[in-house]
Chains A and B, each alone.
Chain A
Amino acid sequence: MKKSLLTIIAMAALSTTALAADIKPALVYGTGGKFDKSFNEAAAKGAEQYKKETGTDFRDFEPTSDTQGEQAIRNFASKGFSPVVAVSFAWTSAMEKVAKEFPDTKFVIVDSVVNLPNVRSVVYKEQEGSYLVGVMAAMASKSGKVGFIGGMDIPLIRKFACGYAQGAKAANAKIEVLQNMTGTTGAAWNDPVRGGELTKNQIDQGADVVYAAAGATGLGVLQTAADNKKLSIGVDSNQNYLHPGSVLTSMVKRVDLAVYNAYKDAAAGKFTAGIQANGVAEDGVGYALDDNNAKLVTPEMKAAVEKAKADIIAGTVKVHDYMSDKTCPM
């Protein structure tokens, strides 16, 4: 009792707004745009959710370039918005600069780390969530070949690919994992046509489950898989509803929670800076199960993926993080 009282006092002393004050929340998207049905849309959903519950409106902005992203973050801060949430690692350096200029404003960056006393950095253990869907992909595959289609070829996406391959191999040591990246420019996040072509190519090579970690490009992947009566796996948001009966599952990354919690914590005066690493244990990443894919997920599959999840949480299965040493054991 005494200890919890102390914590409350300490927290009240630390936070600048001790009362459940009105906040002016803001949200800056990645360059993929707000309606990518994936990463950015998940962030928007978190903000909408907060708006629905509290009636507090938020402002958002879709930058088209790096300079614009920095301008938007600074504009929001200078107009008294706080917390300012910026999703995408692309805003790392912008956030570093602006957060120093506005030490009293609270900032949140998703997918990257900025070590400043007024910045909360939310990162995800995508390798763990990808591992889970990898297990499911390998079990659902009849051909013994599964596919992965990434967006832009950057370390973050290799991290997805590496976790996926590990999961697939764990479920079936003989499985073959085909990997393709969509491109080397930012356009790779927004190229559903090319995503579809790559999917067609992987299907021709024998893959019957394809995992897309490619933002809006993934829409083409899911579409092509559905057209060819194959299975696909969505990413970031729950995309099972896009093609019911074809999307095996989605690797959900709860970016919405990052945004929602940032606003909620700030309003309650409980905003904390520092790194939040969300893995399977924190429910930050996971696989999606709903009415749309209930028929595709067999009881054995469910048992296996739940076991994998429990093993990761217990620490008996360690999913290798590509980012830690820039190599993948697969």
Chain B
Amino acid sequence: MSTASVPLPNWITYGLIPLLNLALAFLISGLVVWSIGENPFEALRLLVDGALGRGDAIGFTLFYTTSFIFTGLSVAVAFHAGLFNIGAEGQAYLGGLGAALVALALDHYVPWYVTMPFAIIGAALFGAAWAFIPAWLQASRGSHVVITTIMFNFIGAALMVYLLVNVLIVPGNMAPETRTFLEGGQLPKLDWLMALFGLKLGPAPFNVSFLIALVMAFLVWVLIWRTKLGYEMRTLGISPTAAVYAGIPYSRTVIIAMLISGGLAGMMALNPVMGSSARLQVEFVGGAGFVGIAVSLMGRSHPVGIVIAALLFGILYQGGADLSFEMPNITREMIVVIQGLVILFAGALEYMFRPAIVHLYLRLKRA
């Protein structure tokens, strides 16, 4: 009997195996750190301390986490419908345009809580619109969504640079970015939430969009596991032919799944654009769309898993930057190596330990 079909209790599948993978990734990373002549334990301490040691460190970690939750959810929703959306980067970029246009239009007149719902809608609409064309091409022409979405990332980047350099730029300014939003166009920081735990947020841009991300995680769970549409999407994801045979409209489901996916990616823009820099900048997404793929894979496309995986990547991002700041020998390329190892072991090699654990589990159960 193959070990793959042996059912394991959830605490092993979702608890022990990821932890083992993570431990192995850190062990190999430690060897790399050791080989360049630094103390791996000190490096680990700096990484954890840099990500979780102080109020502002936690604030930065959660700031990155927020972005990764959005993009992770985006990838996951498409994934449930059997679509591999690797265009979250571009959809988030365009979402930033939607959020920024709302903020620029309203910030003079209304407070942030009036701007916010419109900004959410704006970001989601623009993100969804950017996902629509690849979705339509997939649904009606069979053009593979992997190819079209990644191509749309580049078209999106070109469009945004054109707009920022020629249209939205503040005249006479060197940096291609919009004007700074007034208070009415900014999402407030969550210092009160940190204060509940006796922590001081300091300059960290941890803001309201974190709460929006958590609400979206819940809504995605409802969508996927508690609605008819979610059922249709999952059926389509497991077997498109069976889904069509069962009367699930293929084109409609593909397009709707991609629109939701794009909308979630677009909402990611709320965090950096309105929550942190208060202006639309070139390249503000900074790879979060691609991290979303890793987050979704690691989180097994389940909202709870995604939140946890996003937190892990937030820790790696913030702690990694702090580590390379404190240990100049560890360059930013080294940090990428460590992040890569975590993705490799926790994502790609997720089943490496499984056969051994199954044997062990069966033996223990018999005993």
| Partner-B contacts on A (CB < 8 A) | 33, 59-68, 71-72, 74-75, 89-90, 92-93, 97, 101, 111-113, 123, 152-156, 183-186, 323, 326
Contacts and interface: CB of A to CB of B under 8 A. Distances in A.
B161 interface: yes
Contacts of B276: 67
A91 to B, nearest CB: 9
Interface in B310-339: 321-322, 324-325, 328, 331-332
A19 to B, nearest CB: 28
A152 B161 contact: yes
Interface residues of B, number: 37
Contacts of B158: 184
Contact of A60 (B162, B205, B328): B328
B175 A153 contact: no
Contact of B63 (A67, A111, A326): A67
Contacts of B331: 62
B157 interface: yes
A297 B23 CA distance: 60
Contact of A185 (B157, B162, B277, B328): B157
Contact of B161 (A64, A101, A113, A184): A184
A93 B205 CA distance: 14
A65 B286 contact: yes
Interface string B54-87: 0000001001100000000000000000000000
Contact of A154 (B176, B180, B205, B277): B176
A56 to B, nearest CB: 16
B249 interface: no
Nearest to B286: A65
Given A75-B325, A93-B277, A66 B174 contact: no
Given A66-B281, A113-B174, A186-B283, A153 B63 contact: no
Given A153-B165, A155-B176, A184-B161, 6 more contacts: A62-B332, A64-B332, A65-B287, A67-B63, A123-B174, A183-B157
A61 B325 contact: yes
B276 to A, nearest CB: 7
Interface in B275-307: 276-277, 279, 281-284, 286-287
Contacts of A156: 174
B88 to A, nearest CB: 15
Across chains A and B, which 10 residue pairs bring their CB atoms closest together, nearest first? Answer: A65-B286, A184-B161, A184-B158, A89-B174, A185-B157, A92-B175, A184-B157, A112-B174, A89-B175, A62-B332
B155 to A, nearest CB: 9
* Residue of A59, A66, A97, A112 with most chain B CB atoms under a 10 A cut-off: A66
25 contacts: A33-B332, A59-B328, A62-B332, A64-B286, A66-B277, A66-B281, A66-B283, A66-B284, A67-B60, A67-B205, A67-B272, A72-B321, A92-B174, A93-B177, A93-B281, A97-B203, A123-B174, A153-B165, A154-B161, A155-B165, A184-B157, A184-B160, A184-B162, A185-B161, A323-B172
